[in-house]
A and B are shown apart, each in its own frame.
Chain A
Amino acid sequence: MKNIYKKILKTFIILSPLGIGGGLLLSCDKTVTEPIREAYIPAKLDENAGSWKPYILTSSSEVAVAAPKATTDAAYLKELDSLKNKIMPVLTPANKDAIAYWGAGAVYRWNEIARELAARYNIPPASNAEGKYPVPDAANPLADPRFPFANPPYTARMLAYLSVAQYDALVSAWNYKYKFNRKAPSKNDATISALLPVSDLPSYPSEDAVVAAASYTILVAMFPGEVPFLEAKLAEAKNARVWAGTNVPSDITAGDALGKAVAAKVMAKSRVDGMSASNNQTLVAGQIEAAKSRGIKDTWVSQEAPARPPMLPNYGAVATWNFDRKTLESIRPKMPYVVGSAEWQKEFEELEKINKSQTREQARIANYWADGAGSYTPPGHWTREAANLCHENKFSEVASARTQALVSTALMDAGIACWETKYYYYTPRPQQFGLKTSVGLPNFPSYTSGHSTFSAAAATVLGAVFPSKATEMNAKASEASNSRVYGLIHFRVDCEMGLTHGKKIGEYAIARGKADGSGY
């Protein structure tokens, strides 16, 4: 008997570190912790935002909104009664989850949804049996390859139109809010206790419905295979405000109509911005010849097998937001180092060293900023930064949309100007000289670095909107830029010139922001 006890004890002693260790370390919980974004009362209501300058609309009253029923009107009182006695008493836990989710903010959530769609569609098409890469077809978006391929230029443009539509629609909404001045349900009926914080902002038309409808309209056009997903988001976004008791249905209906009408005007502008010709591969031969005539000896060659046509060779011709074509040409980075020159050799040696002995910290930085296939791309990374800063600073919906519009138009301008530079010089990637990469190799010319240009443009804008964050944002942009050297897919000059270029591009967005009447 004693022996058995001894044995059991012995076994237990041996097994306990495994058991305890295993139990403590693993604790079967698979849920990952994501930041929680809660609702807030905006630090400022931005009462005069109806006079801020829109991007596409000529004025904030271009789209008409009918006057709401007075707060004494029987129809409005019926809406309040229904809110109080029919809708709010029967909320399900799912309804309450939706209220909390959308409570984080309409601009915040719709930007997050847009980033998620970008990530889901950011996959380069696979080659087919003939060794060709089929082009995604907008008319058949869910076939393989799916439409769109939401690469960085596509995503930058998508986010720009999304934010511009949100901003123009909200500037219009603010105009009507203060024109009609109908307060939120709980301000008109003290017995209604809303489930989200309620400010003094007039609630007709609903800013949340405006943003939802505008965003829906843009995103359905940008991601035509996602109509059911987006319809569900739109319906929930609108319902959540009623469930929360923060709006009556007539606030929502008016906001929905306004958002859709403004976004339709923004989409009309998008259709003539040159994007439809951005993948014109017939220009490539001429681009290569022109680059050679400028002194580029070795030109870029796709390193994929089979060779993949370069990404959007004519994206550089798409219409910019904050400066004109002449300016674009005047700020184009100067000629890069020619392959074989002493400067080029020095930069290549830096890369060779990393190729041989990349440090874990270099890998970490390269990975953190990679934002490659399957991610929301660098433009998504920076609108996420913007969304978080707006939230942390308790920005109103219209101030958040303004920030996102400034950032994302700068990002799209950065994409256009950078792509124009890339195809102007058509320079080779380090992989053409035998180096590997720890992040995946983009399929387009090297000079200048897209990450550097995007990051500097966005960081410059964010530093102007949030001056206390300027140093931090610039440091992030520098790190994003360095990450492409550490990941071995750019020469240092690509990154340094990209940063300088991006900063200039960001400054044009800031100039636009200073003149928009917001006072920010």
Chain B
Amino acid sequence: MFKLYQRRMKSLIKYALVGLVCVTSSVYAQMPHDVIYMPKKTACLALTYSNSSWKEYWENTLKRENLNIGTLTTQSVMPMVAVGLTDKLNVLVGLPYITTNASAGNLMGQKGIQDLSGWVKYQLAKNDKGFSIHGVLGASIPVGNYVPDFLPMSIGLQTKTATGRLIGNYTHKLGIYISAHGSYMLRSKIKVDRDAYQADNRVYNTNEVSVPNATDAAVRLGYIKDGSRIQAELFVENFTCVGGDNIRRNDMPFPTNNMTSTNVGFYGKYQPKNIGFNIRVAKVVNGINVGQATSFSLGLLYQLNQKVKK
């Protein structure tokens, strides 16, 4: 069993690295939340720049600004690879480099490599009327040794995560689609540099911090054409922690916080040939214990179609 797994990993690497010389066939680029699949033995590389900033945030439910933070900007660059193991089974792997910066005040910006994430997406069922159901399993593991509790400057929370996701989709033959997903994310305890901290209105005399699990859900309405060479959608996304405490009055956030946000946005993709790009803009419309972020990202896509020799 383990040998089989090793062999599979080797061919994965082959898919990712060997196939740099490409012969164009179909063109796809995909995300862990969509229903697009790389065909068997093809891969796509994406390099995405993201920028997210907020001036106002919810301290518990109180919406406020902070003159000693000004505007907090998070930027990231993430290389990502998506590989078609079969036409119905894809693997995606990504690793971002992140920087944060506050426009006012004295808090030092943070930067570094964050968490390696991997996703496996599988088409569970599909009928000829355009309906399909997909299962996604994801996991992430911190790679950089960044500080997780210097919020809001920290680049991540240092949790290991495991996510289960179900996606339902209907695509009309004209190309209009509607899709919805729900996910549950397990998040591990973390360790912080200090050996006492306050959460849930008490002091914990330990360096272990319990980070709440989370759910996320989204609904997307869009248009897709030519095997996803062209795609445009509007979406609503919600991220909700399962439990957790709130930011105390005039205090800073902490990894135990019940962070909740609802995002609306637009996603578009244009990939006429091997090379393409995607764009995403979104804004948080409601939340608790989070910044009201406006974000955008730009991705450069590159399709690999090398047939790997057996």
Contact = CB atoms under 8 A, between A and B. Distances in A.
Given A35-B205, A116-B202, A436 B186 contact: no
Interface stretch (B188-196, B224-232, B284-292): B188-196
B94 interface: no
B120 A18 contact: yes
B127 interface: no
A358 B110 CA distance: 10
Interface stretch (B29-37, B43-51, B166-174, B249-257): B249-257
B248 interface: yes
A150 to B, nearest CB: 12
A56 interface: no
A58 interface: no
A11 B137 CA distance: 11
A115 B203 contact: yes
Given A26-B186, A374-B198, A355 B107 contact: no
B91 interface: yes
A87 interface: no
A303 interface: yes
Contact of A26 (B85, B106, B162): B162
Contacts of A32: 189, 204, 206, 208-210
Contact of B162 (A23, A29, A306, A363): A23
Contacts of A13: 1, 4-5, 8
Contact of B160 (A7, A26, A364): A26
B24 interface: no
B250 A28 contact: no
Nearest to A32: B208
A437 B102 CA distance: 12
Nearest to A30: B210
A34 B208 CA distance: 8
A441 B138 CA distance: 39
B206 A34 contact: yes
B253 to A, nearest CB: 11
A343 interface: no
Contacts of B208: 32-33
A468 interface: no
Interface in B123-157: 137-139, 141, 145, 147, 149-150
A373 B68 CA distance: 15
Given A34-B206, A367-B147, A437-B106, A18 B162 contact: yes
B203 A376 contact: yes
Nearest to B146: A360
A305 B250 CA distance: 14
Interface stretch (A123-131, A257-265, A470-478): A123-131
B139 A18 contact: yes
Interface residues of A, number: 63
B196 A384 contact: yes
Interface residues of B, number: 57
Given A13-B4, A25-B188, A306-B67, A19 B137 contact: yes
B198 A119 contact: yes
B116 to A, nearest CB: 12
Contacts of B197: 374-375
A125 B250 contact: yes
Contacts of B105: 303-305
A367 B120 contact: no
A481 to B, nearest CB: 17
Given A26-B186, A115-B203, A370 B194 contact: yes
Contacts of A17: 5
A21 to B, nearest CB: 6
Contacts of A18: 118, 120, 137-139, 162
Interface in B106-121: 106-109, 118, 120
Contact of A22 (B89, B106, B139, B202): B139
B220 interface: no
B122 interface: yes
Among A26, A119, A373, find the residue whose CB has the most chain B CB atoms closer than 10 A: A26
A19 B136 CA distance: 12
A33 B204 CA distance: 9
Interface string A11-55: 101111111011101101111111100000000000000000000
A374 B108 contact: no
Contact of B188 (A26, A124, A363): A26
Contacts of B91: 14
Contact of A144 (B68, B210, B249): B249
A438 B149 CA distance: 11
A431 interface: yes
A26 B187 contact: yes
A154 to B, nearest CB: 16
Given A119-B203, A120-B201, 20 more contacts: A10-B89, A13-B1, A13-B5, A13-B8, A17-B5, A18-B162, A22-B160, A22-B186, A26-B160, A26-B161, A29-B189, A32-B204, A125-B250, A146-B249, A303-B106, A374-B248, A375-B197, A384-B205, A436-B107, A436-B108
27 contacts: A13-B1, A14-B8, A14-B85, A19-B137, A21-B141, A22-B139, A22-B162, A25-B160, A25-B162, A26-B160, A26-B161, A30-B210, A35-B205, A123-B248, A124-B250, A125-B250, A144-B249, A303-B106, A305-B104, A355-B108, A367-B150, A367-B192, A376-B203, A381-B196, A436-B109, A437-B107, A437-B108
Interface of A: 7, 10-11, 13-19, 21-23, 25-26, 28-35, 112, 115-116, 119-120, 123-127, 144-146, 303-306, 355, 358, 360, 363-364, 367-368, 370-371, 373-376, 381, 384, 431, 435-438, 440-441, 488
